[in-house]
Amino acid sequence: MLVDGRHYRTIWPAGGGGDVDIIDQTLLPHELATVRLKSVADAARAIADMLVRGAPLIGATAAYGMCLGVRADASDDGLRSAYDALIRTRPTAVNLRWALDGMRDLLAPLSPGERAEAAYARAAEICDQDVEMCSAIGDHGLGLIRAAWDEGRETVNVLTHCNAGWLATVDWGTALAPVYKAHDAGIPVHVWVDETRPRNQGSGLTAWELGQHGVPHTIIVDSAGGHLMQHGRVDLCITGTDRTAASGDVCNKIGTYLKALAAHDNGVPFYVALPGPTIDWTISDGLGEIPIEERDGAEVTEIRGRTASGEVTVVSIAAPGSPAANYAFDVTPARLITGLITERGIAEASAEGLAGLYPERAGSGNA
């Protein structure tokens, strides 16, 4: 997507020797800076410390992490240690395991001399396919926004949570792809952006990328969505997901469940957008089986921002000494979800709905 009129992806090979560049998302929205990944440790750190985040981008970065690993050591031990370093980085987004398992299964049967070239080719393919899938999600979701506009609204108001835009993928985004497509098609669309405490992926990242693309939007505190829905000011909700169970249960950024409850109570359609690799076919009970990441309580008790003098700094916002719990994700049961917007079309959030779109995967038990 565009930043100051220039097209960017979130990750790309750089320098000609196999290094990889990413956008450091911890610095946004205050600074747009890239970081060069030179080793598997760099890639693992970028995922764990959330320089890159969002399920599809975590998968793409892990794939390039395997490239950097085999570039340094293409032996069986090198392959294993790269896999082990990367799989530990974040627990919830299943795209991580999907990408790593796919790379390992591709590379393990090859001779060490063949591995690096095959790894880079596959990582590039994963990125290109992610762009294609997200664009297709946009095309399918566009139909929903167009239908809401065709009902006679002046503007279609979409509420989203966290950042499931292009910064969370390689390009386009999942939840925001339909918004970009609608905006580009001339449909007046406005986005209510949940700030998404504690890390503020909404106010920092979603608002930034919507602004760069010229999409009208308004940042709201996380607890405002229910009020807006009660007053008819939200036409549909679209969020992303880090892991979707084969049953259609969806795990996404903490607070997504509360938005789905409010949408259900107010008759507001609640859609979740996802590419196929975000479905975990091994899990049928989202609530009981998806690991929920718990992060440092300091993310709750402290906040980072820019002062009036321009300095970016961290300040404490909590009573000194009070403990904080930091659950990063929650699970929204399929019954609260109007539909799943995938690259293959829109499915009912159910085992049957997903099986209908992915007949070759249903019942496979493999991610």
Find the binding residues for ligand MRU in span 303-332 (CB under 6 A). Answer: 328
- State how far the alpha carbon of 339 is from the alpha carbons of 189, 334, 342, in Å: 20, 9, 9
364, with CB counted inside 10 A (0-12, 13-18, 19+), is: exposed
Write phi, then psi, for 2 (nearest 5 degrees): -100, 140
Which string of x and - marks every residue 154-193 that binds ligand MRU (by CB under 6 A)?
Answer: --------x-x---xx---xx-------------------
- Indicate the residue whose CB is closest to ligand MRU: 240
Q: Contact 198/316 with Cβ under 8 angstroms?
A: no
- Listed in order, strand segments (DSSP E) in the chain are 2-3, 6-7, 11-14, 19-23, 34-37, 156-160, 189-194, 217-220, 236-239, 243-245, 250-253, 270-273, 279-280, 302-306, 312-316, 329-332, 339-342, 345-347
Q: For residue 298, what are the contacts with CB-CB under 8 A and spacing of at least 6?
A: 324
User: What is the size of the binding site for ligand MRU (CB under 6 A)?
Assistant: 18
Catalytic residues: 242
Which string of x and - marks every residue 72-91 that binds ligand MRU (by CB under 6 A)?
Answer: --------------------
Q: How far is the CB of 26 from ligand MRU (least distance, A)?
A: 11
Find the binding residues for ligand MRU in span 13-72 (CB under 6 A). Answer: 53-56
Return d(Cα 285, Cα 51) in angstroms, integer.
30
Q: Find the helix or strand (DSSP H, E) in which 67 lies.
A: helix 55-72
Q: How far is the CB of 204 from ligand MRU (least distance, A)?
A: 10
- Is residue 251 close enough to count as binding ligand MRU by CB under 6 A? no
Q: Of residues 201, 212, 338, 342, which one binds ligand MRU by CB under 6 A?
A: 201
Q: Of residues 241, 301, 332, 338, which one binds ligand MRU by CB under 6 A?
A: 241
Q: 149 or 203: whose CB is closer to ligand MRU?
A: 203
Q: 119 or 357: whose CB is closer to ligand MRU?
A: 357
Q: How far is the CB of 278 from ligand MRU (least distance, A)?
A: 7
CA dihedral 256, 262, 264, 269 (to 10 degrees): -70
Tokens of 93: 């987004």
Find the binding residues for ligand MRU in span 127-156 (CB under 6 A). Answer: none
Which residues sit at the interface with ligand MRU, rule CB under 6 A?
53-56, 93, 162, 164, 168-169, 173-174, 201, 240-242, 252-253, 328
